[in-house]
Amino acid sequence: MRLIISTLAAIGLSAVFAGDVRADAAAGKAAFEAQKCTGCHYADGPAREKSIADQLAKKGPELWYAGSKFKKDWLNAWLQDPKPIRALAYNSLTKKNAGDHPKLSGGDAGNMTDFLMSKTSSEVKAGTIKPKKSLKGKSIFNKKMPCTGCHQSASKKGKVSGGLSGPTLVGASKRLNPDWIYAYLKNPTHFKPFKAMPTFAGLLKDKDLKNVSKHVSKLK
């Protein structure tokens, strides 16, 4: 019994010490609530339990699957220096919402990144998509399907082109987890029941959903 108590005390103490040097998800959760992130974002899921009115009640996108969607380093950096991702007024920082987004200090961003990275979706299976060049995926993205009609992307030489109604995919390789891209293309309503992005799962074979996911996860 004494051994158990002293072991527990040691674990408790090391957690306290670790808290000084490492980012802390519990502190991130408290800060997420204190800094009113919840005023613009849902951090609880799943999306399908929400109505259209619920979705429109928040200015920002849902974050309840952030840990499955984002790459950690991108998230940490963006929280300290948020830049627009969506060009249109809805769910966007441009136009009338310009300058609206809180900018976090390094410490707060680290804690909040840890908190958000702990929020994952079981729909996203790790290791499904290896981010490598796919010529098939590239031709689906640029020619066979209307992806570029709604999304911006950059050419090899860095020339940006494409439509503005979807989030920009410039820098998708740094921002998005390849396995999330595939899960999202396969079953978008799991993440957003009321959505402006078409469902391609019936139009493309599973293999091609994987190919186009590979292509998107390489976009610079």
For residue 94, the number of C-alpha atoms closer than 13 Å in the C-beta half-sphere is: 11
Sign of CA dihedral 116, 121, 122, 124: negative
Please tell me the distance from the alpha carbon of residue 131 to that of residue 215, in angstroms, as a whole number: 7
195: contact with ligand HEC by CB under 6 A: yes
Please tell me the distance from the alpha carbon of residue 140 to that of residue 211, in angstroms, as a whole number: 8
Position among 23, 24, 25, 61 found at the interface with ligand HEC (CB under 6 A): 61
Tell me the closest approach of the beta carbon of residue 130 to ligand HEC, in angstroms: 17
174: contact with ligand HEC by CB under 6 A: no
218: contact with ligand HEC by CB under 6 A: no
The token pair that represents 191 in the structure block: 């993440």
Considering only 17-25, 47-55, 60-68, 123-131, which stretch makes contact with ligand HEC by CB under 6 A? 60-68
181: contact with ligand HEC by CB under 6 A: yes
Contact (Cβ atoms closer than 8 angstroms) between residue 165 and residue 88: yes
Binders of ligand HEC among residues 66 to 85 (CB under 6 A) are 75, 79, 84-85
173: contact with ligand HEC by CB under 6 A: no
Show Cβ contacts of residue 158 under 8 Å, excluding neighbours closer than 6 positions. Answer: 220
Position among 100, 106, 125, 187 found at the interface with ligand HEC (CB under 6 A): 100
For residue 37, the number of C-alpha atoms closer than 13 Å in the C-beta half-sphere is: 24
Q: x-or-dash pattern for ligand HEC, window 19-38, by CB under 6 A?
A: -------------x--xxx-
Binders of ligand HEC among residues 136 to 155 (CB under 6 A) are 141, 145-147, 149-151
The string over 48-66, giving b where at least 16 C-beta atoms fall within 10 Å of a residue's C-beta and e elsewhere, is: eebeeeebeebebbbbbbb
Size of the site for ligand HEC (CB under 6 A): 45
Please tell me the distance from the alpha carbon of residue 219 to that of residue 100, in angstroms, as a whole number: 28
Please tell me the distance from the alpha carbon of residue 77 to that of residue 87, in angstroms, as a whole number: 20
Tell me the closest approach of the beta carbon of residue 154 to ligand HEC, in angstroms: 15
- What is the binding site for ligand HEC (CB under 6 A)? 32, 35-37, 39-41, 59-61, 63, 75, 79, 84-86, 91-93, 97, 100-102, 104, 112, 141, 145-147, 149-151, 165-167, 181, 184, 192, 195-198, 200, 212, 216
